[in-house]
Structure 1
Amino acid sequence: MRGSAKARLIGAVALSSTLVLAACGSSGGAVERSDEQVTLRVTWWGEETRADLTEKAIEAFEKEYPDITVKGEFKDWDGYWDALATTTAANDSPDVIQMDELYLASYAERGSLLDLGEAGEFLDTSQFDKESLKTGEVDGTRYAMPIGIAVFASVVNADLFEEYGIELPDDATWTWEEYADLADEVAGKSDGKVNGSSVTGGMDTGSVRYWARLDDNELFDKNGDVTLDPKALASMWQYNLDLMESGGVESAAQAVERYNAGLEAGGLATGKVAMGFSYNTQITALREASGADLRLMRLPGSSEANANFFKPSMYWAVSSQSDHPAEAALLADFLVNHKAAGAVLGTERGIPANGKVREAISADLSESDQLAVGYMDSVTPGPSPAVTPKGGSGVEPMLQRYTQEVYAKQTSPEEAARAFIDELQGEIDSAQ
């Protein structure tokens, strides 16, 4: 579970200040199985439900490999990164680490994660889409295995469309102009009781990545530099400003309030907006909270550009400090590849990135999870975006700060776009 923006920034500071002291890890010798009893440590963030499921999966692993004992450790998001940075700096990090995309490059570039290619004998990658595998790469080297994957989606409240006599859109062809027209129509026919859409850009990096990729642009390049075109960012903000003016989307104050309320108390979940954007894997929580017929549709403009992308929910990585990298790789392999683990873990960490595991558990998925899987299978994502570079882990709170200033009309989209890009690049440069 993710914490506050402040917590993320604290984690970034802790990482940069302590991880630099870390030893580079193992000696770089051959990755081979031990002929003795081995004990591993594995760490993850999350709450009790995740812990219970993970412990059950570990028990299944220990039955498969009786010569390996696994000790699980978990914390909530707020304390996880400080603890991981501290243990890594002390050359005592857990053998297997649940990793997030925001911090992958920071740990990989400091030599704290094992190059998984060295453990290829113990870690099968054959059942993963090649683009999903690339989400765990830094500079062409695979350091992490995606546990779950998601893709960006439009969420449409079919009940509200029916209530106000509006036809559902054709998501195979709809454009941003048509999206705006629908948002205005909903607001008009509901006499302002319902906003046509939540804000469609600026509260998360996913919206920025998608908007930029529609113009063949990227937030970051493979070298870790910010390559986002300020014109693309400014136009995304201006699109939403125009819809705020017409009443098609929620106001600036409503956008902030609903975002801070969390997914299950936001505009889509409470029926205050008829459309919005989310990742497909969030549909279950949204439908349960709303009780409405929420549907996943392709994003506006998707017929014109292959701009969608795989987003890893999280990864498993192996510490380069592990005394038992072969056994650690076996544990990671079991957690992402074995149907026994998939049957236990289900979709708690997202829709399984392993296609065979996803297929094996599909019959047991809820209706909403099946919608999420069906949507993902219907979308052809483009190339995986570059991993957030070292120094860029504070990108989302930074983006939200500028977005709120723009929507509150405290600064222009053009000025904010240039300032955001300069500040983000400065953070990255400082971390090198």
Structure 2
Amino acid sequence: MTIHMSRRQLGHAALGVAALGLLSACGKGNSGTSADGTTTLRFTWWGNDVRNASTDKLITAFTAANPKIKVGAEPGVWSSYWDKLATQTAGNDMPDIIQMDQQYIAEYGGRGALLDLAGQKAIDTSGLTPEALKSGQVGGKQFGISTGQNAYVIMANTRLFKEARVAIPDDTTWTWDDYISTAAAVAAKVPKSFGAAYGGTEAALTVWFGQNGENLYTADGKLGFTEGTLQAYYERLIKQRDAKAGPSASQNSEDATAAVEQTLFGTGQLAMSWWWTNQVGALAKATGDDIKILRVPSVAGSAAKASMYFKPSMFWSASARTKHAGEVAKFINYLMNDVDAAKVQLTDRGFPSNPKLQEAITPLLKPADKSAGDFLKAIEPEVSWTPAVPPVGTGTLANVSLRYVDDVLFNRKTPAVAAKEFKAEAEGLISSAAK
């Protein structure tokens, strides 16, 4: 769906503005303790109906086992989640436990809004690999604990392929031209279908730059791509649009902020779309169709050169201003290490980082979720790099990326102009944050 990381994964964020006052405001506290010693924590996450239901079960089980701790649920959706969190943080009203994304961990952690979890004795990290722990570190501090592993992929609705009588391509050898021609073929043969999503997210950019020997960000917090490579990316989107292999510009723009179940892919109108592996279960439920996970197309037509990568699905983080760090740590430890909790979450927040939990949930997985785990194992030999953590200042670049995709698809900007302006704007975000 994305353009989704879903596109979901890109939504609209006002963090760059709101974060300027992250810790300067005086406002409400995060939570409280009642006269009988019961502590109430606030817990926020983004998700969908499937994730919300499983998270409610987790909260119920934890509070039943810990009667002196209550957990207030504050679910949201990606498209508005970061605006709300930025406003809460600036107003000293940040929830105690936060489902955090890698795109924003440096923004919040680097500005002092997140608790260093390495100092919490109640959190046992012995079951995690050094790589999983490092992914949540910024400036030597553990601002997040990975919930699991993910990969950005193409999801294919097999029903639409069957209706169109079009074969699903060999994802170990397909190119971007194959992606476009396949999408156009399905759209031409199935009424009210739209072929494939464009892939206008930062994750899609990361893959594209990697395939061209470049990077979205460098390890030292700068941009690592050329205007020419970004221009070629925009030209590819136009080629897809003109081949009638994707939604119209207006449909694409609307789809970018829709909830998972309401996207073109989630409603069964899109044959192929960009999502994270952990979303396959929700997509299968939303569509009622068999969803096949595919590697992303490549410039070279080789899976080994597709520049796919593993990303922490998300992180468990905590507010630096929480008044109940011990209880917060206990809840996070439950979420990341408890076998029964893992059996509730399964792979919705990624394939668990803890091998013990992987083993525990495998027999319980539905075919769609099992396919995600099998897929991650299958591509492991092809994954040879890890993108740099997004630098401070780039928290709103997801929104910026979608805006330029809109400009290109609506013909408001040429690919050359869009590439030049996008890079300049991204450089401005990074340099402004460093002042």
Q: Output the TM-score relative to the length of structure 2.
A: 0.80
Match of 2:433 in 1: 431
Match of 2:312 in 1: 312
Change (3 A) 1:122 1:157: same
Where does 1:120-139 land on structure 2 (aligned, <5 Å)? 122-139=122-139
Shift of 1:404: 1.1
Distance across 2 between alignment mates of 1:110 and 1:303: 38
Change (3 A) 1:20 1:421: farther
Q: Quick check: which has more Rg, 1 or 2?
A: 1
Task: Give the RMSD, CA atoms, in angstroms.
Answer: 3.7
Runs of 5+ unmatched residues, structure 1: 23-36
Where does 1:209-224 land on structure 2 (aligned, <5 Å)? 209-224=206-221
SS at match of 2:13: helix
Where does 1:85-100 land on structure 2 (aligned, <5 Å)? 95-100=96-101
Change (3 A) 1:18 1:114: closer
Match of 2:170 in 1: 170
The range that moved more, 41-50 or 219-228, is 41-50
User: Does the 8 A contact of 1:92 with 1:321 survive in 2?
Assistant: no
Runs of 5+ unmatched residues, structure 2: 27-36
Distance across 1 between alignment mates of 2:89 and 2:193: 49
Match of 1:110 in 2: 111
Distance across 2 between alignment mates of 1:51 and 1:305: 37
SS at match of 1:296: strand
SS at match of 1:352: coil
Change (3 A) 1:270 1:340: closer
Match of 1:329 in 2: 329
Match of 2:197 in 1: 198
Change (3 A) 1:262 1:21: closer
Change (3 A) 1:5 1:131: closer
Amino acid in structure 2 at the alignment position of 1:135: S
1:287 and 2:288 correspond? no
Match of 1:296 in 2: 293
1:268 and 2:272 correspond? no
Which of 374, 383, 386 in structure 2 is aligned with 1:384?
386
SS at match of 1:238: helix
Shift of 1:44: 1.3
The range that moved more, 136-145 or 256-265, is 256-265
Distance across 1 between alignment mates of 2:371 and 2:243: 32
User: Does the 8 A contact of 1:19 with 1:86 survive in 2?
Assistant: no
Distance across 2 between alignment mates of 1:9 and 1:159: 35
Shift of 1:122: 3.9
The range that moved more, 130-139 or 148-157, is 130-139
Deviations 1:136-173 (A, max 9, x none): 12235431002243211122233333344433322122
SS at match of 2:149: strand
User: Does the 8 A contact of 2:15 with 2:396 survive in 1?
Assistant: no
Distance across 2 between alignment mates of 1:254 and 1:339: 42
Change (3 A) 1:388 1:164: same
Deviations 1:222-264 (A, max 9, x none): 3332323222221111112122223333333342344454433
Distance across 2 between alignment mates of 1:309 and 1:131: 13
Deviations 1:10-36 (A, max 9, x none): 4443222243558xxxxxxxxxxxxxx
Distance across 2 between alignment mates of 1:400 and 1:309: 21
Change (3 A) 1:353 1:164: same
Distance across 1 between alignment mates of 2:328 and 2:190: 59
Identity of aligned residues (%): 32
User: Does the 8 A contact of 1:306 with 1:382 survive in 2?
Assistant: no
Distance across 2 between alignment mates of 1:238 and 1:231: 10
Distance across 2 between alignment mates of 1:44 and 1:222: 30
Amino acid in structure 2 at the alignment position of 1:205: E
Q: Output the TM-score relative to the length of structure 1.
A: 0.80
SS at match of 2:407: helix
Change (3 A) 1:85 1:53: same
SS at match of 1:9: coil
Deviations 1:49-79 (A, max 9, x none): 766754653565567678x635435253588
Distance across 2 between alignment mates of 1:181 and 1:79: 34
Distance across 1 between alignment mates of 2:133 and 2:62: 23
SS at match of 1:127: coil
Change (3 A) 1:299 1:50: closer
User: Does the 8 A contact of 1:5 with 1:397 survive in 2?
Assistant: no
The range that moved more, 353-362 or 126-135, is 126-135
Q: What number of residue pairs does the alignment pair up?
A: 414
